[in-house]
Amino acid sequence: MAGTDDVEIYRVAGIDEAGPGDLTFVANRKYISRIKTTRASAIILGEDIPPVSIPSIRTSDPYLAFARALEQFFAPVVPEQGIHPAAIIAENVTMGSHPSIGAYAVIGKGCKLGAGVTIYPHVVLYPDVCVGDGSVLHSQVTVREGCILGSRVILQNGVVIGSDGFGFAPTKEGSFYKICQTGRVVIEDDVEIGANSAIDRAAVGDTIIRRGSKLDNLVQIGHGARVGEDCVLAAQVGLAGSTHLGNRVWVGGQVGFAGHLEVGDKAVITAQSGTSHDVPPGAVISGSPAFENSAWLRSTAAFAKLPQLVRKVRELEKEIQQLKSSLKMEHSK
């Protein structure tokens, strides 16, 4: 640590809230100006930040360093080990070592739970669900029949895995015939899904969220959709059925995808955009309907000045009329 040999740290805190004894950090350049006013005793900084007057730790990755520091000072709430007497475990359930199954959890027939699984109170597993080692299912989660969760999966409260896909065949009479949804949802290792999100099963085939992807709250994943590895989907995103995201795709909040699309690796779709077309790998797109981001930025800038453009065109039209009459007069001289 630069600046002193002798700082005692008791807590990690945000730059505005930090006081004496606190370690803080700046990972977002927007907050550099606040380094001067923080009352923190020490700060974690990126290597590119100018010198500061308080004790500092320099690192190429201040956000990760902050995450690690936080773990040193934080005692997480640990749910009780064992199976609560008010949990209902159906027959033919297998369970690894060190389970934590909360009150009123309902585990259906034939479920298979790995080692060190944490099931909070009021979780419902329908029959034949698999949950991998070390996964954590928060209260009010439901996992429907036959769905598969990998290892170290985290489901925040109220998540629904495996609800019926939105599949109906229109009849000649104008009503809808429900198509039974026989597919599974497969959530691979190290996926986290945010509160009250819903991942639908399909009529046939699997809906898949691949290893390491992170989905925020209130996200909708339609039947048969697939999310690649290490994707990030911000809150309230919606994928319609059978749309496939590649790996490391970044999706901003409230984005919508139509069905049956292919989105290439490392594509970025900015917040509130919507697309009904495939997205090439690495593309950055924006708007609804979405197109290339830098072109969209120019179009939106022009949109804000559209009334002036309309006026200008009207003026030009008048000038042309005047020019025409002048020319006619000239001609008739």
User: In the range 216-245, which residues lie near a copy of itself by CB under 8 A?
Assistant: 216-218, 220, 222, 224, 230, 232, 234-236, 238, 240
In the complex, minimum distance from the CB of residue 132 to a copy of itself, in angstroms, rounded to a whole number: 16
Alpha-carbon separation of residue 326 from 202, 314, 321 (angstroms): 71, 19, 9
CB of 5 to a copy of itself, least distance (A): 26
Q: How far apart are the first and last CA of the chain?
A: 89
| 32 sits near a copy of itself (criterion: CB under 8 A) | no
Q: CB count, 10 Å around CB of 171?
A: 9
Using CB under 8 A, pick the residue from 112, 196, 277, 293 that binds a copy of itself. Answer: 196
Whose tokens are 């370690």? That residue is 23
CA pair distance 97, 114, nearest whole angstrom = 8
Amino acid identity at 48: D
- State yes or no: residue 139 binds a copy of itself (CB under 8 A): yes
Q: Total binding residues for a copy of itself by CB under 8 A? A: 124
Distance of alpha carbon 279 from its chain centroid, rounded? 18
Q: How far apart are CA 234 and CA 268, in angstroms?
A: 12
272 binds a copy of itself (CB under 8 A): yes
Closer of 51 and 170 to a copy of itself (Cβ):
170
Q: Which residues from 140-159 bind a copy of itself, rule CB under 8 A?
A: 140, 142, 144-146, 154, 156-158
Given 10, 20, 71, 282, the residue binding a copy of itself (CB under 8 A):
71
Note whether 48 binds a copy of itself by CB under 8 A: no
Under the binding rule (CB under 8 A), the answer on residue 61 touching a copy of itself is yes
- With binding defined as CB under 8 A, does residue 43 bind a copy of itself? no
Per rule CB under 8 A, is residue 102 in the interface with a copy of itself? Answer: yes
Rounded Cα gap, residues 228 and 92, in angstroms: 33
CB closer to a copy of itself, 6 vs 157: 157
> Backbone dihedral region of 190: left (phi > 0), alpha (psi from -120 to 50 degrees) or beta?
left
Residues 198-217 that bind a copy of itself (CB under 8 A): 198, 200, 202-205, 212, 214, 216-217
Does residue 143 contact residue 149 with C-beta atoms inside 8 Å? Answer: yes
At 322 the three-state DSSP class reads helix
Within residues 8-27, the interface with a copy of itself by CB under 8 A covers 12-14, 16-17
- From residue 302 to residue 321, what is the string marking binding to a copy of itself with x (rule CB under 8 A)? xxxxxx-xx-xx--xx-xx-
Identify the residue among 4, 103, 115, 282 touching a copy of itself (CB under 8 A): 103
If the CB atoms of residues 46 and 97 are measured against a copy of itself, the closer one turns out to be 46
138 binds a copy of itself (CB under 8 A): yes
Sole binder of a copy of itself in the list 160, 186, 245, 251 (CB under 8 A)? 160
What is the full DSSP assignment across 5-34? S-----EE--TTT--TTEEEEE-SGGGGGG
Say whether residue 293 binds a copy of itself (CB under 8 A). Answer: no
Annotated catalytic residue 138: no
Interface of this chain with a copy of itself, residues 243 to 262, rule: CB under 8 A: 248, 253-254, 256, 258, 260
Distance between CA atoms of 231 and 120, rounded to whole angstroms? 26
Structure tokens at 159: 């998540």
Within 13 Å and on the Cβ side, how many CA atoms surround 80?
A: 9
Q: Largest Cα–Cα distance in the chain?
A: 107
Handedness of CA 302, 307, 310, 311 (dihedral sign): negative
Smallest CA-to-CA distance from 271 within 288, 283, 258 is with 288
Among residues 98, 223, 260, 331, which one is catalytic? Answer: 223
Catalytic positions, written as ranges: 223
